[in-house]
Amino acid sequence: MIRNLRESVPKATGNYFLNILKNETRFYLLKELTSDISTYEFYLEEDHDVMERRNYYINLMKTLKNCDKMLLYEEE
């Protein structure tokens, strides 16, 4: 039992802190990438058509999230 605790407690705390760090990093990266669209071409060296498709899908995700909120609001 002690061996199981010694193995599981560090894993659980590690997973807890890593998940928080991973989510914060993902949020920060997404925030930075969506803050200034003109930097995409410079940093990522992507083509103009790739940037247009990415912007289309970002806007589509925003629309879908808004629709999701509206549906949840109507259910309540």
CA angle 51, 57, 61 (to 5 degrees): 145
Range of the domain at 53: 37-76
19 and 46: one domain? no
* pLDDT > 70? residue 5: no
* pLDDT > 70? residue 41: no
46 and 73: one domain? yes
48 and 74: one domain? yes
pLDDT class for 64, splitting at 50, 70, 90? very high
Asked if residues 48 and 41 have their Cβ atoms less than 8 Å apart, the reply is yes
SS3 37: coil
- Model's pTM, two decimal places? 0.41
C-alpha span between 72 and 66 (Å, rounded): 10
Q: What is the mean pLDDT of residues 12-29?
A: 77
41 and 13: one domain? no
What is the count of structural domains for the chain? 2
26 and 45: one domain? no
Asked if residues 17 and 25 have their Cβ atoms less than 8 Å apart, the reply is no
6 and 23: one domain? yes
Highest mean pLDDT among 17-21, 44-48, 52-56: 52-56
Residue 40 pLDDT: 60
29 and 47: one domain? no
